[in-house]
Chain A
Amino acid sequence: MASKNLKIDIKSGTISKEVATIIFDGELDAGSINKISACFDTIRKDGKKYVIIDMSKVSSVSSAALGELMGGRKLMIELGGDLVLAGMNLEVRTKLSLMGANKIFRFFNDLRTAVNAYKWEFQHQADAIKLSFPSNLKFVPPVRQLVSRIAKQKGYGNRDSFRIETIVDEVCNNAVEHGVQGSDDDIDMSINIDKDKIELNVINVSDPQKAAALKALLKTSMEKQLKIDDRRGRGLALIKMLSNKMSVDFSDKGTSVHVTKVREE
């Protein structure tokens, strides 16, 4: 039986000059090997070394075609890049796993995820998360766990995630304690995380007296060693020791704490 014609579409230049996206539409079988091979040749000649294959329109893959894909990947690896597969349906994915392809190729749910993984890894893409929650100490444990889990989910090690959790805990505790008692104000947190660092920004509406006390404490910390027997001093000292950069701004909007922690693991 003649194999269904395989349609191939190559897109490049949209993500970076070294990345090409290939969309396969049809069956990847023995009859399509030459086409696939020619496609990889074109890509190599164009100077691409990172290939994302969109497999969402692929209905089946034979072992011969898989061999060709492996050849393409080997080519990209030799050039210092990679070839990854995205968007397989359950049947194709199962078949590929049964053929052992999962031990060789990185698989992604869809094209968008594959592109974002490339950008995260090679273009230092940062993810932005925003969170608002009421100013209450009881909410701090879930909030610090959220940030710690996000860090872990994005590949940060246990030690780093733990330190981040502690930083968030101390910053949020401060934010709650400096808040105006009995108000309905929220604490606003924004997180920017990339492969190398996490940046935290926490804003709360402050009680003017408490903000003044914090200002004084910070001034003291600049001039001499923070007193560790003072609870607020301890908290600030901890944040400073665990992070790489910390600053506090006071404005009409409230007190804004910025912390940067560089990834160590």
Chain B
Amino acid sequence: MDIRFPYKIHIQFPGDLDYIPPVRKFVSEMLQVSNFTPRFAYRSEIIVDEICNNAVNYGCVTNDAKVELVCEIKDDHVDFQIKDEGGSKEHIRRLRQAMHTEEDKKDDIHKRGLGLEIVKMLSEKIDLEIDSRNLTSIHVVRKREDIEREPKQ
């Protein structure tokens, strides 16, 4: 059964770090069965990991907070969108800052937001949207580097 592009995966899970390893591995495996290279899948796994960690750690305030991840897989690139319920003002300020500042290698590495930095370096495009209800969504695009196609049957 051939896979038809583009396709979408939606996952909604509780704001609990425990869910992130299964979710990131799931995305990696879905990409590998979709003929993306293992390298691409690994880097995507890192992206998903970091944006989910961010959402759980800073974007979940109530005990029953949820996180929603949407992956749109096209044949030459992948789009990740993560939505959380919105964190504190401080969190939003830090997010905006992380999006727009150039990395300053002179900053103490222990103080830098390493996660989003890694995501920025691994993606072509990263956007942040915050709506009036503080729902935060981070949108990441990663292009496929080379395509491994199955031999035609």
Contact = CB atoms under 8 A, between A and B. Distances in A.
Interface string A135-179: 011110111011001100110000000000000000000001000
B18 interface: yes
Contact of B33 (A109, A110, A129, A139): A139
Contact of A145 (B7, B9, B15, B29): B29
Contacts of B1: 136-138, 176
A242 B70 CA distance: 31
Contacts of A139: 3, 30, 33
Contact of A128 (B10, B14, B18, B61): B14
Contact of A129 (B3, B19, B30): B19
B35 to A, nearest CB: 10
A227 interface: no
A145 B18 contact: no
Contacts of A184: 4
Contacts of A134: 3-4, 7-8
A102 B130 CA distance: 39
Contact of B8 (A113, A132, A145, A176): A132
A146 B17 contact: no
A130 B33 contact: no
Contacts of B30: 133, 139, 142
Contact of A112 (B10, B11, B18, B63): B63
B63 A116 contact: yes
A92 to B, nearest CB: 15
Contacts of A246: none
B60 A112 contact: yes
A58 to B, nearest CB: 19
Contacts of B23: 146
Contacts of A115: 63
- Interface SS, A side: helix
Nearest to B65: A112
A226 B13 CA distance: 36
B7 A129 contact: no
A188 to B, nearest CB: 9
A149 B60 contact: no
Contacts of A112: 15, 60-61, 63, 65
A34 to B, nearest CB: 33
Interface string A111-128: 011011001000000011
Nearest to B10: A132
B11 A129 contact: yes
A76 to B, nearest CB: 21
Contact of B29 (A119, A130, A141): A141
Given A119-B63, A153-B19, A141 B33 contact: yes
Contacts of B61: 112
Contacts of B16: 113, 116, 127
B91 to A, nearest CB: 13
Interface string A206-234: 00000000000000000000000000000
6 contacts: A129-B13, A132-B10, A136-B1, A142-B26, A143-B26, A153-B22
